[in-house]
Amino acid sequence: MTGEAKQPDGDSGPLDGITVLDASRVLVGPFCTMQLGDLGADVIKVERPGTGDQTRHWHPPRYGDADESAYYMSVNRNKRSVTLDLTAPEGRDVFRDLARDADVLVENFRVGKMEEWNLGYERLKEDNPGLVYCGLSGYGEWGPDKDRPAYDVMMQAEGGLMSITGEENGAPVRVGVAIADIGAGMYATQAVLAALFEREFGDGGGQKVDVSLLDGQVAWMSYMATNYFATGDSPGRMGSQHPTIVPYQAYETADGYVVVAVASEHIWPRFCEALDRPDLLADDRFETNPDRVEHRDALNAELRPEFAARPTDEFLTAFERHDVPASDVKDMEAVFESDQVQARGMRASVSHPTAGTVEMPGSPMHLSRTPTSVRQHPPRLGEHTAEVLHDHGYTDRQIDSLYEDGALGERFVDG
C-alpha cells in the first residue's frame, strides 16, 4: 500500500447508453445536460437554425478563431449539436422522432410553449412512456408568477440571496456567477437521475420533472431561512461574516485578505496561539462561540488591527503551523494554478476544431469505477445534424429533403 488514492479507470460513465434530448439554452438547462454528458450520456443539443444557443454570441471573450463565446464553451462539452426549426411542422416531426428514442428530455422554453408546439410531456409520453421529461423555468409550471420572465439577478433578489449578500448597511450584491441558474441546474440533474433510478426499479415508466430557478434559490437559503423561522427576524447583510460562528470571515491584511474559519471550540485556542494573543484566550467575553457571537464587535475590534499589521503569507504560515483553517482570496489564475485543483482534474481541456485547446473547469463528480470524462468539444452549430439523424434511421434522401424544406437550416460545412 502506498497510501495514495487509486486513480479511476475505465472510459464509460455511469450513464453510458442513456440518450438525452437537450432542447435548452443559455445556462440552467445546458449546465444540467453537461453534467449528464460528463456522466456518460449521449446528449443531443437541439438548436435554432442560423443562431443556435444565444450564448454562442455572448462575446468577448472567445477562444482563438472560434465563433463561439467562452461562456458557451463553459457548459456545452460532451454534446452533439443538431439544428432544427421547431416553428416548422417538419422540424417538430423530427423532434418527436428523436424524443421517441430518448431516455431524457430537458427544455427551458417559457411555460406552455412546448404544449403549444404539441411537444409537451403528455403528447411525447404517448410514443415514449419511459421518457423522463424535465421542464425548467423561472417560476415553475404553476402559481401566479408562472408566466413572468425571469433572469438570474431577479432570482437572487426574489429568492432572498441578495438580502444577505454584501456589506452591512451597504447595497445588495449579486453573487458573481449566475448561482440561481446553476443551482436549479444541479437540482434538475438530481431529479432526472432520481427519475431514471425509479424507472429502472419501478414500473418502467417515466415522469415529468418541474424545476424552477426561484424554488432552487429559496431552497438554497437553508439555515438562513430557518434562522428567520426560528426568530421571526429576517437576516441581513454581514459581508463575509457568519451569523452564528465567530471568527469566521475575511480580514484585511497589510497586502490583501486572509479568510479564517474558527468553526469549533477546539480551533479557538490554536487560533489565539497562532496570533500570539493569549489575552484573547483568557478573556471571558470570548470563551465560547456563543460568547464570541454576542461580543463579535469587541472581538473584531481586537482582531482587525492585528491582521492589518502584517502580510497575508505570514498569517497563512502561522495558521498552517497551528492547524487553523485559513486561506487567502484567490483569483481565477491562482485557483487553476493550484496543485490541488490540478491534481483533482478540475482544470480540464479539450481540443476544438477552430479554437484549439479549450480549457474549462472539470467535473467535481469522481466515481471510482465509471468515471466522468471530458470527451467531446463544445459542438459547433449543427455539427452533428446529419450524423444524429442517420443514427435515428433517417436516409440521406430524407435528410436532403429536410434541408431543402428549411427544417434543418443550412447544412453544416466543416472548415
Q: Are the CB atoms for 180 and 255 separated by under 8 Å?
A: no
Question: pLDDT tens digits, residue range 264-299?
Answer: 999 999 999 999 999 999 999 999 999 999 999 999
**β strands within 214-313, DSSP E:** 248-252, 257-261
Class of domain 19-220+342-405 as given by CATH? alpha beta
Average pLDDT, the chain: 94
The DSSP secondary-structure symbol of 8 reads P
* % residues pLDDT > 90 (the chain): 93
Which secondary-structure segment (H or E) carries 292? Answer: helix 289-294
Report yes or no: 38 and 373 within 8 Å, Cβ to Cβ: yes
pLDDT score of 188 more than 50: yes
Residue 7, pLDDT > 50, answer: no
CA dihedral of residues 283, 285, 291, 297 (deg, nearest 10): -110
CB 85 within 8 A of CB 94: no
Q: What is the pLDDT of residue 415?
A: 67
Whether 91 shows a pLDDT value over 70: the answer reads yes
Residue 347 bridge partners (DSSP): 361
What tens digit of pLDDT does each residue of 309-342 get? 999 999 999 999 999 999 999 999 999 999 999 9
Question: Contact at 8 Å (CB) between 85 and 116?
Answer: no
DSSP 176-240: SS-HHHHHHHHHHHHHHHHHHHHHHHTTS--EEEEEEHHHHHHHTTHHHHHHHHHHS------TT
Catalytic residue among 103, 152, 181, 215: 181
pLDDT tens digits for range 9-68: 446 799 999 999 999 999 999 999 999 999 999 999 999 999 999 999 999 998 877 788
Asked if 393 contacts 399 with a C-beta cutoff of 8 angstroms, the reply is no
Please give the grid coordinates belonging to residue 338: 493550484
- The per-residue pLDDT for range 131-185, each reduced to its tens digit, is 999 999 999 999 999 999 999 999 999 999 999 999 999 999 999 999 999 999 9
pTM for the predicted model, two decimal places? 0.92
Question: What pLDDT is attached to residue 9?
Answer: 46
351, pLDDT greater than 60: yes
More confident residue, 6 or 303: 303
Residue 181 annotated to the active site = yes
- Residue 360 CB contacts under 8 Å (≥ 6 apart), including other chains: 73, 74, 77, 348, 349, 350, 374
The rounded distance, in Å, linking the Cα atoms of 186 and 32 is 6
> Which pLDDT belongs to residue 64?
76
Where is average pLDDT lowest: 117-121, 195-199, 290-294, 352-356?
A: 352-356
Listed as own residue / partner, the contacts of 305-311 with beta carbons closer than 8 Å and 24 or more positions apart are 306/275, 306/277, 307/251, 307/252, 307/253, 307/258, 308/251, 308/252, 308/253, 308/254, 309/254, 310/253, 310/254, 311/253, 311/254, 311/255, 311/256
Fold annotation for 248-252+257-328: formyl-coa transferase, domain 3 (3.30.1540)
Q: What is the pLDDT averaged over residues 76-102?
A: 97
Predicted confidence at residue 42, as pLDDT, reads 97
List the chain domain ranges: 19-220+342-405, 248-252+257-328
* Across 250-274, average pLDDT: 97
Q: Write down the pLDDT at residue 118.
A: 97
Extract the C-alpha cell encoding 217.
434559490
